[in-house]
Chains A and B, each alone.
Chain A
Amino acid sequence: MAENEEKAKAQNRCPDNSAFKQQRLPAWSPSLTAETVLPFFYLLGIACVLLGVLLQITMQNTQEIKVDYTNAESCDMCFETRKYKVNASRECHCSITFSLKERLEGDVFFYYGLVNFHQNLRRYMDSRDDAQLLGRIKKLKNPSVYCGPNFQYANGTPIAPCGAIANSMFNDSFALFFHPLVDRPLRVPLFRKGIAWYTDKNIKFHNPYVPNESLPQVFQATAKPLYWQKPVYELDPNDSTNNGFINEDLIVWMREAAFPNFKKLYGILDRQSSKMFEQGLPAGNYSVSISYNFPVQYFRGRKQVVLSTVSWFGGQNHFLPIAYLVTGCVTVLVAVVLTVVYIKFGKKGLKMED
């Protein structure tokens, strides 16, 4: 017995015979053989080509109209006015016209576009206080220093909403008119709500809430951003539920664009309210009357109005279908080359010459 014990003891240091410890775990070791790689390449190439074709066809059904109104037509005058800061509070209205050669089918989206506006600068992007926008009372009166110099006035009055982003909010407003050949101009009905993400509208942005106080009362101790004409609780004169931090134009603006040239949603064609626009925007002449407030000449920017329809993979996008087509073709080409190479030079190389 003692011997047995000793034996057990003696074998103490013997490592376990487990597959893990002996590095013999069952494993799959794939290798790049011609039988797997070549068919994969053909399939991949063909799939990409097909996808590209599909995307191209889909994309051709979408349309996009882009009109630059920075200093076009009557807006030229407004452009000049906005050049000088002294005129900041002066209102300026102008309008531009364009015509649709074809009807814009289905849902039509109305965007404003900005060129050369850097919403993606680091200091600019940091200059906001999400807690304030969430409606925290404490933050409303005492915004984060992240807002930078735009968090309060020299006299200590806090700014709501604070920060450079809010301060630079795009404040042109638009009205789209359809000019039928026979009738007088008809205002195109646009939804001005439902243009922001659901999560932004309902979770990320909240008005500060104090019981028994109306919105202006809540915002009483705060001041509007430096460049704003109206305080935040009066952004939408027509719809009282679209005021304060939950104003959708504000929400849309607060979602910073990744690139200096961008477009943001302004409104969606209301197809129900009028028979004429049930199928989308009919072909014909249109005009946009613009309340021209946003100065762009400082940074040599341009302003646009964009009308567009969308498909299942988003708005009009030439890049994606072409990229797919190119990738697909290249892949097929490579596959052919590889096949030739394999048949001509390969095969024998892998045999062991023992």
Chain B
Amino acid sequence: NDRGYNEKFLYADNRIKTSKYNIFTFLPINLFEQFQRVANAYFLFLLILQLIPQISSLSWFTTIVPLVLVLTITAVKDATDDYVSIAEGPVSGHLASPVLSLQNEKWMNVRVGDIIKLENNQFVAADLLLLSSSEPYGLCYIETAELDGETNLKVRQALSVTSELGADISKLADFDGEVVCEPPNNKLDRFVGTLTWKNNKYPLDNEKLLLRGCVMRNTEWCFGLVVFTGPQTKLMQNCGRTAFKRTSIERLMNTLVLWIFGFLLCMGVILAIGNSIWEEKVGGKFRVYLLWDEVLNDAIFSGFLTFWSYIIILNTVVPISLYVSVEVIRLGHSYFINWDRRMYYRRRDMAAEARTTTLNEELGQVEYIFSDKTGTLTQNIMVFNKCSINGRTYGDIYDEFGHKVEITEKSPSVDFSFNPLRDKKFRFHDHSLVEAVKLGDPAVEEFFRVLALCHTVMPEEKNEGELVYQAQSPDEGALVTAARNFGFVFRARTPETITLYEMGKHSTYQLLAILDFNNIRKRMSVIVRNPKGQIKLYSKGADTILFDRLAPSTEDLIYTTSEHLNEFAGEGLRTLALAYKDLEEDVFAEWMVRLHEASIALENREECLALLYEEIEQDMTLLGATAIEDKLQEGVAETIACLTLASIKIWVLTGDKLETAMNIGYSCNMLRDEMSDVFVITGHTALEVQQQLRTAKEKILGPTREIVNGEKDAEKMDLYRNDSVFEETITSEYALIINGHSLAHALEADLERLLLDTACLCKTVVCCRVTPLQKAQVVDLVKRHKRAVTLAIGDGANDVSMIKTAHIGVGISGQEGMQAVLASDYSFAQFRYLQRLLLVHGRWSYLRMCRFLCYFFYKNFAFTLVHFWFGFFCGFSAQTVYDQWFITLFNIVYTSLPVLAMGLFDQDVNEQNSLRHPKLYELGQLNVLFNKRQFFMCTLHGIYTSFVLFFIPYGAFSSNVRDDGSHIADQQSFAVTIATSLVIVVSVQIGLDTNYWTAVNHFYVWGSLTIYFCILFAMHSNGIFTIFPSHFPFLGTARNTLTQTGVWLVILLTTTVCVMPVLVVRFLRTDLYPTMTDKVRHTQQASRRQRPQEQNLKRVRRTSSRRSAYAFSHQEGYGELITSGRNMKVAVPVFSLLRKRGDPATGTTVVAWSSGSGTRESENTQGQ
């Protein structure tokens, strides 16, 4: 760990740089960056063009004023963004961690080759090679929820040579081993390397590595050698690349802007050709009055110059303010998200946050949601909810009439105060169970004894009565905690004893054997000798497995219990059946001998053991069943139901097990009993997977194909394959569940199409056991092939990759750290807020952005194309129609605010109705509000308006005079008339487009009109003219023109002719082809007249009767760890005592659960 030596290799810094600027570099860098944007560069180019006098058709200020304004706004926005990211940066970079000589170093300073010390409950912030730990054998416990979403503890073990180093600082400092390992990669479960130390080579594998993102658990301290830092860590390698996200609307907008440029060039060319012809035919003769150089008077050259002049004049079709207005609107929408109280989670004081301000309108177009399970759909809390003991259920509360009462937060819970060792957070609502315990019902007692004895939980009692359970799986923890509260407190454990505190009495059970859990057995048992000396086998496991091994005499009980199990499963609870068996001394002794033989057998050890287990776990007596609720977050099922109604497809991608995932699927109402079929893909080879997918697909398509096409039209089938209409015709619902290793094959190039097709035919897709990268791959698959907007939602570091890959990433800010939130675009505390984010904010954002863009393009076409028409009358000389100041201010002052107000505040339908009618969301998915056709319509509308705006005043003015006989057909009066008409028409149009007139809208619309007239008169006033005569030549025009009745008659006529067709079309459309929105609006207005009423979505009742799977979520091999005592910090070496029976002395062995340091020496000696 020589720093100097290591620094020769350029290892990545552990710091992740987030901020871009400092105070001094801000201006030049920011300007440089801004001019890299095509739009800004284009305007700079225009500005340069305008400085050439022969071309300049507009004064330089017409471009520079808006450009400077835009650059300033953007710069301010960038500066604040950067400031925010400086403020946030340290969250992930500055965790203090003692290094080596115990000096505290910041995580960002950690280098490859450093040895660092980690303490309990600390985040591992780099990939470390475990050297030694406080636990015996260099064991170290970690929780990998950030990596794979699993919350059970995992064990890592150091090499025995390094674990001897212990906590000896000087020895550690002298450690000079050399690690040779594979290059950084993203495989979380693989690591290959060798350690060379003292001329010996030691192989290194994944078991010796602590990965960034893990959390230390149950381990006092450990030392690790830094192997990978920063972006080289496996977690970061798994994050995928941060891609700059753009919305589809923005992409469309960019395309359209290019189109408009094309259009602009066309107009320029047309006008330039017109100019050449005109110069040739007419202008040539007129040149007597224009005594310019010969060069300028050449017709072709003149045409060339005119082209550029018109490019300058007509550039306002794509105004500079477009991009900045879009940014402002998005920023506003982001603030509305941040401000929404209905997305604020009071319990954790967490408001929703839009971390990216550029994606809002895409929220209104989401078609696929990819959701993580742990911590996203579920709270990651297991709760002992119900049980069935000896044929009676406990857990529901009934009122005096015997009706079931819904359990809510407010329901009174059972008072456990009789029990000093209770867990105060535990809540149970059914009093009868406590009474049964107090009465000493033997079945109930036995039931809880099973719960208290049959598990692999490690207790930790820091102070008297303050028990903390370290459970390998949260389910077990919940069960043991339940037993604890009902008076069967599991207090201590040694390799061969378990100490309970049964209803106030200490009793020690001798642990004779643990019949460990595995995936095939789906059960675990313990054999104990109780204080009375009886040998008992306690077993818990999946009901289907356990029921086969019960004594036949309990038929009736089995029947009732399975009824209860069905009932529990129907509520989405995870169930376990419990049973026990009395064992005869001699039978057990004989079995024990055979077990011992089997456990030392060299061949077929596993099979032998399994057979022996099977043998003893027979003829058990059923005690009952437990039901654990994997607590869903509030409102998850309702949210999913609502989102499904909005035609959003939800896929669950989880690192969890198949069974767990399915269970959640059922409790979220995503998997239902009415579903025709649930396909489970678990193939291990590509061929198997392909086979299974094919079968599934054929099964789905089978019946439909016969109806639609007959069987022969296989070719036609291919045509229909991707047709969404065809997908619709499938009436029955299917679900697809696919395992991680199958997914790996299915994601390969040749199968991915099949996977996607099959998955899209299914109503529900669940992928389990997937790695973070696979999550991203699945998202990417849909993104690539479906051209649909995807949203990924998750809470842990394992979701970062998919959050980054999806169009929109949403992070749930839960307990699992901030990794997901930091990578996300939106974050909030609860899954159910997603409904509001999409259906209310997303829909509104989409609607507003579309309306805004439509109007904006319309407005600018109407504004600019007047020049085009005028070109035909002014010899294509690029003379502007308007005052130059009007051109400067039109987009940024006169018309920007009303449309901004609409873009910020408009609502077609209020929030209640948005939520009540999820179908309204389809508007965005089908992208009907702004597409190329809509754009075309806007453009046509704009062109029509500009035509009317030009030709009506032309017709009226060309031969007209004022009422005092002096002229009015001069260019300046004409300009003022058209400009005024334009501002009025455009304001009326925004009035028609605005659905939701708040005070702000009124203020801006009327304000803009007022401002227009004020500025108009100010600029045409005497004072300003006498100061700058050559810049304000329009002196007096406003006064002389706008006092004329004739002018107002023209303006009135223009407005009428411009607006009338729009009104007719809109009216006919709502009247003849009303959309969903129109209908909802109609009812909304009708109901407002009566009274505003709140109507909540009805809670979706689950009616599933599926028999739930067993609820083990832990790993195999824990039983051995416990019985071998390796994971226990005992004062006396206990190996010799292993499996000695019936020694009462060991029953009282003092176990040092406290974390005192005195025991540590013995641990070290134990290691040797």
A256 to B879 CA separation, bound complex (whole angstroms): 12
How many positions in chain B have a CB within 8 Å of any CB in the partner chain?
Answer: 100
Tell me whether B285 and A334 are in contact (CB under 8 A): no
- With A23-B907, A121-B290, A327-B1053: A257-B346 Cβ-Cβ less than 8 Å: no
**B934 in the interface (beta carbon within 8 A):** no
Q: Among A34, A164, A315, which residue has its beta carbon within 8 angstroms of that of B289?
A: A164
- With A263-B967, A265-B967: A320-B286 Cβ-Cβ less than 8 Å: no
- With A255-B972, A320-B956, A349-B1072: A118-B875 Cβ-Cβ less than 8 Å: yes
Interface string of B1082-1113 (1 = CB under 8 A from A): 11010000000000000000000000000000
Q: How far is the CB of B363 from chain A (nearest CB, A)?
A: 15
- With A32-B1067, A204-B1035: A323-B1053 Cβ-Cβ less than 8 Å: yes
**A222 in the interface (beta carbon within 8 A):** no
Interface residues on A, range: 35 or more
Q: Among B962, B965, B1056, B1064, which residue has its beta carbon within 8 angstroms of that of A268?
A: B965
Tell me whether B965 and A196 are in contact (CB under 8 A): no
Interface string of A24-65 (1 = CB under 8 A from B): 011111111010010011001000100100010000000000
**B88 in the interface (beta carbon within 8 A):** no
| Segment 4-36 of A: residues with Cβ below 8 Å from B | 10-17, 21-23, 25-32, 34
Tell me whether A13 and B351 are in contact (CB under 8 A): yes
Which residues of chain B come closer than 8 Å to A150, judged between CB atoms? 291
| Segment 288-320 of A: residues with Cβ below 8 Å from B | 298-300, 308, 310-317, 319-320
Q: How far is the CB of B1040 from chain A (nearest CB, A)?
A: 5
Q: Among A22, A40, A310, which residue has its beta carbon within 8 angstroms of that of B340?
A: A22
A263 to B351 CA separation, bound complex (whole angstroms): 69
Q: How far is the CB of A34 from chain B (nearest CB, A)?
A: 7
Tell me whether A310 and B1056 are in contact (CB under 8 A): no
**A69 in the interface (beta carbon within 8 A):** no
Q: Among B954, B956, B1029, which residue has its beta carbon within 8 angstroms of that of A317?
A: B956
**B1050 in the interface (beta carbon within 8 A):** yes
Interface string of B980-1019 (1 = CB under 8 A from A): 0000000000000001111111000000000000000000
Which residues of chain A come closer than 8 Å to B964, judged between CB atoms? 310
**A129 in the interface (beta carbon within 8 A):** yes
Q: How far is the CB of A98 from chain B (nearest CB, A)?
A: 19
A25 to B844 CA separation, bound complex (whole angstroms): 15
Q: Among A259, A312, A345, which residue has its beta carbon within 8 angstroms of that of B954?
A: A259
Tell me whether B959 and A346 are in contact (CB under 8 A): no
- With A27-B996, A29-B995, A131-B1030: A197-B1045 Cβ-Cβ less than 8 Å: no
**B684 in the interface (beta carbon within 8 A):** no
Tell me whether B970 and A123 are in contact (CB under 8 A): no
Among A32, A167, A263, the one with the most B-chain Cβ atoms within 10 Å of its Cβ is: A32
The stretch from B129-137, B656-664, B781-789, B1073-1081 touching chain A is: B1073-1081
> Which residue of B is nearest A125, CB measured?
B879
**A188 in the interface (beta carbon within 8 A):** no
Which residues of chain B come closer than 8 Å to A312, judged between CB atoms? 963, 1045
Interface string of A244-266 (1 = CB under 8 A from B): 00000000100111111111110
> Which residue of B is nearest A21, CB measured?
B339
Q: Among A17, A27, A350, which residue has its beta carbon within 8 angstroms of that of B1079?
A: A350
The secondary structure that dominates the A interface is mixed
- With A13-B349, A122-B878, A341-B1071: A31-B292 Cβ-Cβ less than 8 Å: no
Which residues of chain A come closer than 8 Å to B276, judged between CB atoms? none
Tell me whether B1082 and A168 are in contact (CB under 8 A): no
Tell me whether B291 and A149 are in contact (CB under 8 A): yes
Which residues of chain A come closer than 8 Å to B1072, judged between CB atoms? 341, 345-346, 349
A225 to B969 CA separation, bound complex (whole angstroms): 26
Interface string of A179-210 (1 = CB under 8 A from B): 00000000000000001111110011000000
Given contacts A11-B349, A323-B955, 17 further A-B contacts (CB under 8 A): A26-B998, A29-B997, A48-B1053, A118-B875, A122-B877, A124-B877, A136-B1029, A149-B292, A167-B289, A257-B970, A258-B971, A259-B873, A314-B963, A315-B962, A324-B1053, A327-B1060, A349-B1071
- Closest 8 A-B residue pairs measured CB to CB? A199-B1036, A315-B961, A21-B339, A109-B965, A319-B955, A314-B1046, A258-B974, A346-B1071
- Which residues of B pack against A, CB within 8 Å? 57, 282-283, 285-286, 288-293, 309, 336, 338-342, 344, 346, 349-351, 844, 873-875, 877-880, 905, 907, 911, 952, 954-975, 995-1001, 1022, 1025-1026, 1029-1030, 1033, 1035-1036, 1039-1040, 1044-1046, 1049-1050, 1053, 1056-1057, 1060, 1063-1064, 1066-1068, 1070-1074, 1078-1083, 1085
Can you report 6 A-B residue pairs in the complex whose CB atoms are below 8 A from each other?
A: A121-B290, A123-B290, A131-B1030, A319-B956, A320-B1049, A320-B1050
